[in-house]
């Protein structure tokens, strides 16, 4: 507007003044009509202040400061929380904070707060891990402060490792293993296996990633389920999971080992399991709700088996048996087939089918296009059309054509 006005001669100044006055008027009107910033709820502010003091006490390993946030009469809670803080003593925390997301008053001096616990482990977490908590609080009329009377997991949330017992820490070259109720020898072996898994995954995945992994080893399968907020029956035969795969909002994944199932595996099986889970950590930034399970799980298995000397029949025994019986799958595994609560044979065939679908892409189209396909699927705006579009753009095929080729691949490698 100013440049255009320069050619208008004497009338330019009048128009400029008029435009300036109009602009000033608009700015003034905007300032007058802009809504005032919302005033923070005083209860939220007061509860937040209580939790800020509590967070500082965690980082300072200050039991008295930590317990000062609790109601004096809550004897059971105070004893449990004292133990929790002691259990955290060896965990290398770089940050610990709370964010109050909602407060519901229950009378003048009682409230329930929804809170996000956000913490980081030094040297491993580039962003905070988040856990939902629900706190019951009461206000002391004498000092006006809010004190916690109960602390529990949020809806669909799990417990934390330090709530299950004293956390023992074993440091690997590329791993940090946190265990409860396990021997140092066992935790050291897991760290050594994870240290071997990290470079194997880095060789299989071309993008830069953290190159380090945090592994949690609870005492029992029930404790593992408690960390995940799910029934123990879901994990009886599962050797390990990655938290991102269970719907957590953790940008820094945790690999959680089922000590009972993991112990039944030999050295090779343990290496495959931890390499598989490490692959999930490495690919998290490229894995989204658009990624079908056959692709994310298939890639993780492909990365785990990539440098191992195993035949397809050895790596996919359940599917090999099915193919020999003439029971060739008609389509790629669905997400539902990967459910932990289903038939174990069906679950094994789903994993094996996903692995061989990924192996087919890497073998036929090459690893570079395989990686590009993975990125394209995960980068799609939603699940609908993600695989179809990526197959067309990256592989030059269709899901129907790919399925035909995959079934032939199964016959040739397993028949």
Where does residue 389 rank: exposed (0-12), middle (13-18), buried (19+ CB within 10 A)? middle
Residue 170 pLDDT greater than 60, yes or no: yes
Residue 3 is assigned to a structural domain of this protein: no
pLDDT in tens, 8-67: 333 434 433 343 433 333 333 333 344 544 556 889 999 999 999 999 999 999 999 999
Q: How many domains does the chain have?
A: 3
Contact 299, 374 (CB under 8 A): yes
Inter-residue long-range contacts of 411-415, CB under 8 Å, 24+ positions, other chains counted: 411/323, 411/328, 413/312, 413/313, 413/356, 414/312, 414/313, 414/316, 414/319, 414/320, 414/323, 414/324, 414/356, 415/323, 415/324
**Domain shared by 244 and 181, yes or no:** yes
Residue 8 is assigned to a structural domain of this protein: no
**Domain shared by 400 and 310, yes or no:** yes
**Domain shared by 280 and 255, yes or no:** yes
Residue 273 pLDDT greater than 70, yes or no: yes
**Domain shared by 304 and 381, yes or no:** yes
Contact 282, 199 (CB under 8 A): no
Output the six-digit token pair for 94: 């770089």
**Domain shared by 55 and 151, yes or no:** yes
Q: How far apart are CA 98 and CA 40, in angstroms?
A: 16
Range of the domain at 278: 163-285
The pLDDT score that the predictor gives to residue 40 is 62
Residue 341 pLDDT greater than 90, yes or no: no
**Domain shared by 136 and 215, yes or no:** no
Residue 324 is assigned to a structural domain of this protein: yes
The pLDDT score that the predictor gives to residue 85 is 97
C-alpha closest to that of 303 among 253, 355, 351: 355
Read off the pTM. Answer: 0.86
Number of Cβ atoms within 10 Å of the Cβ of 55: 20
Identify the band that residue 252 occupies on the pLDDT scale cut at 50, 70 and 90: low
Please give the angle made by the CA atoms of 40, 46 and 48, to the nearest 5 degrees. Answer: 85
Number of Cβ atoms within 10 Å of the Cβ of 217: 27
């Amino acid at each position: 507007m100013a440049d255009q006005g320069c050619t208008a001669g004497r009338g330019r100044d009048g128009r400029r003044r008029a435009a300036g006055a109009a602009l000033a008027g608009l700015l003034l009107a905007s300032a007058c009509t802009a809504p005032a910033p919302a005033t923070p709820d005083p209860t939220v502010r007061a509860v937040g202040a209580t939790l800020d003091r509590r967070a500082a006490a965690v980082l300072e390993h200050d039991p008295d400061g930590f317990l000062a946030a609790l109601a004096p009469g809550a004897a059971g809670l105070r004893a449990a929380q004292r133990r929790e803080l002691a259990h955290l003593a060896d965990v290398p925390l770089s940050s610990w904070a709370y964010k109050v997301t909602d407060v519901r008053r229950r009378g003048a001096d009682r409230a329930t707060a929804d809170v996000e616990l956000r913490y980081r482990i030094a040297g491993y977490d580039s962003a905070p891990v988040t856990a939902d908590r629900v706190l019951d609080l009461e206000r002391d009329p004498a000092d006006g402060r809010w004190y916690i009377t109960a602390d529990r997991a949020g809806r669909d949330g799990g417990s934390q490792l330090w709530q299950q017992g004293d956390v023992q820490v074993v440091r690997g070259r590329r791993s940090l293993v946190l265990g409860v109720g396990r021997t140092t020898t066992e935790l050291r072996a897991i760290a050594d296996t994870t240290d071997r898994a990290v470079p194997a995954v880095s060789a299989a995945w071309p993008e830069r990633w953290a190159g380090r992994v945090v592994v949690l080893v609870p005492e029992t399968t029930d404790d593992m389920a408690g960390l995940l907020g799910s029934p123990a029956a879901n994990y009886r035969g599962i050797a390990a999971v990655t938290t991102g795969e269970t719907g957590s909002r953790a940008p820094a994944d945790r690999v959680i080992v089922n000590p009972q199932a993991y112990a039944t595996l030999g050295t090779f099986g343990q290496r495959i399991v931890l390499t598989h889970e490490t692959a999930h950590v490495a690919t998290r930034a490229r894995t989204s709700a658009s990624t079908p399970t056959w692709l994310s799980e298939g890639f993780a298995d492909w990365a785990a088996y990539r440098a191992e000397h195993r035949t397809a029949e050895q790596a996919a025994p359940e599917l090999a048996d099915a193919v020999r019986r003439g029971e060739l799958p008609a389509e790629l595994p669905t997400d539902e087939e990967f459910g932990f609560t289903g038939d174990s044979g069906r679950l094994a065939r789903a994993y094996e089918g996903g692995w061989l679908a990924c192996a087919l892409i890497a073998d036929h189209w090459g690893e570079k296009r395989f990686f590009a396909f993975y990125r394209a699927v995960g980068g799609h705006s939603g699940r609908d059309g993600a695989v179809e579009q990526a197959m067309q753009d990256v592989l030059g095929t269709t899901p129907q054509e790919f399925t035909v080729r995959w079934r032939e691949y199964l016959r040739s490698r397993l028949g």
